Chain A
Amino acid sequence: MARTIIPFGPQHPVLPEPIHLDLVVEDERVIEARPSIGFIHRGLEKLVEKKDYVEFVYIAERICGICSFIHGQTYCQAVEAIMNVAVPPRALYLRTIWGELSRLHSHLLWMGLMADAVGFESLFMHSWRVRERVLNVIEATTGGRVIFGSCKIGGVRRDIDADGFQSMLKELTLIERDIREITRVFIHDNSVKARLGGVGVLSRQDAYDLGCVGPTLRASGVAQDMRQLGYAAFKDLQVEPITRTEGDSYARCAVRCEELFQSIDLIRQAIAKIPEGEIAVKVTGNPNGEFIARTEQPRGEVAYCVQANGTKNLQRFRVRTPTFANLPAVVKLLQGCDLADVPVLVLTIDPCISCTER
């Protein structure tokens, strides 16, 4: 049978961000997928030469519009490690709380997009309806909806008082109730299960060999979560990686659904244990050294490599984003799949192309 190449993207209804795939198909079956990226490169890493290391927090946060806070936090962790800054414990707890809120809204966004990709419009709208509640909590505590702007080198900019925590807990109860209703549809509904079950199976060995990270890796049975490293306040909290063994699109969806409850639980744990005290320390001087910081973003592990040479501008700054690590898995998953499954398989890794291309 003759082979045909079908271009997929960079503009495609299922893609929130631009990525291009050349799909080599025989009839309706994909034989090979050749990805090409670079449509949304902004040169953010180069900006370290223009902005000093303190101002660069704002740029690090803008690498991604969804996991913005964790980008800023990882950057701050790297610079703080180079400068030997002891961040106050309260600031570490606040970072943990905001990081988990960020994971909540990111996973809810993905669930909406996935529901949209499988043609379940009402579920899409209601996933985002719940996400709006999370965004309100974020706005009330940080001042921003997706760009938090509350992390800085040496601590955080804002504190949350006891009333703020009480209203956050109250709102979390409502959010948890809504999430429970929505995830019941994602996990038990016949149509969702039939559409995602058995689609794009990634074996445990393949997931590990291809260097997958985050929910994509955990859905294939590898219990790896960077939060177990104990950064920020995670050393004091109970974090167990959520895993599934099936490795298909349904398992990746189920892992994210369960992680929503894990995040809510972590926020509650953090609020219960948060110590009193300062929220930031004064940082003076310029960084000199090199450090690689690793954190768990909603999409998986992110690694920040920061090199500093004692001046106010960093010498080199490099980010390895989770989507970049998961792209080889997409190429593997697309080999031999049906053409109609391509949108689902691309979405299943929760691609964030803006992060990847920076």
Chain B
Amino acid sequence: MAYFEMSRLALKWALTKPPTTRYPFEARHALAGSRGRLVFTKDNCVYCTVCAKKCPTGALVVNRAQKKWAIDRLLCITCGYCAELCPKKSLELQTGHGTPAITKDLEFCG
């Protein structure tokens, strides 16, 4: 049986730096390797539509004839499956989460 176990710990933690950050005044730094926002690079893309076919949530729309690549940010779960499959490495996951989606419309890239 022990008494004041927590008081001792609370005192110790009160004298150390807080583990919390003052978000949003202080930005959260993403860890290296974190799965964040999906970015599309137009240069290499051959519009093969593999990413759109394999996306688990159907968040990607690719039109080969019009050379259009679009994403529904609200559906994307940032799993990275598209980036893994892309034969030309046109897709990449950034570590940061970027800005929040403010519209339900598709976001056309490139």
Contacts and interface: CB of A to CB of B under 8 A. Distances in A.
A136 to B, nearest CB: 7
A123 B93 contact: no
B84 A157 contact: yes
27 contacts: A55-B56, A58-B56, A58-B77, A58-B81, A122-B6, A122-B10, A129-B13, A139-B33, A139-B34, A140-B32, A140-B33, A140-B34, A142-B33, A143-B35, A143-B80, A144-B34, A149-B80, A157-B80, A181-B9, A182-B9, A185-B5, A185-B6, A188-B5, A189-B2, A189-B5, A190-B1, A190-B3
A141 interface: yes
Contacts of B35: 143-144, 149
A185 B9 contact: yes
A210 to B, nearest CB: 32
Given A58-B56, A140-B32, A188 B77 contact: no
B19 interface: yes
B79 interface: yes
A140 B31 CA distance: 6
Contacts of A51: 56
Contact of A189 (B6, B13, B77): B6
Interface string B17-33: 00100000000000111
A317 B83 CA distance: 28
A109 B21 CA distance: 20
A332 interface: no
Contacts of A184: 2, 5
Contact of B93 (A140, A143, A147, A185): A143
A55 B4 CA distance: 52
Interface size class of B (residues with CB under 8 A): 20 to 34
Interface in A302-322: none
Interface size class of A (residues with CB under 8 A): 20 to 34
Nearest to B19: A129
A120 B9 CA distance: 14
A278 to B, nearest CB: 15
B6 A149 contact: no
A143 B34 contact: yes
Contact of A132 (B6, B19, B33): B19
Interface in A120-143: 120, 122-123, 126, 129, 132, 136, 139-143
Given A51-B56, A132-B19, A193 B1 contact: yes
A147 B35 CA distance: 10
Interface in A44-91: 51, 55, 58-59
A143 B1 contact: no
Interface in A159-203: 181-182, 184-185, 188-190, 193
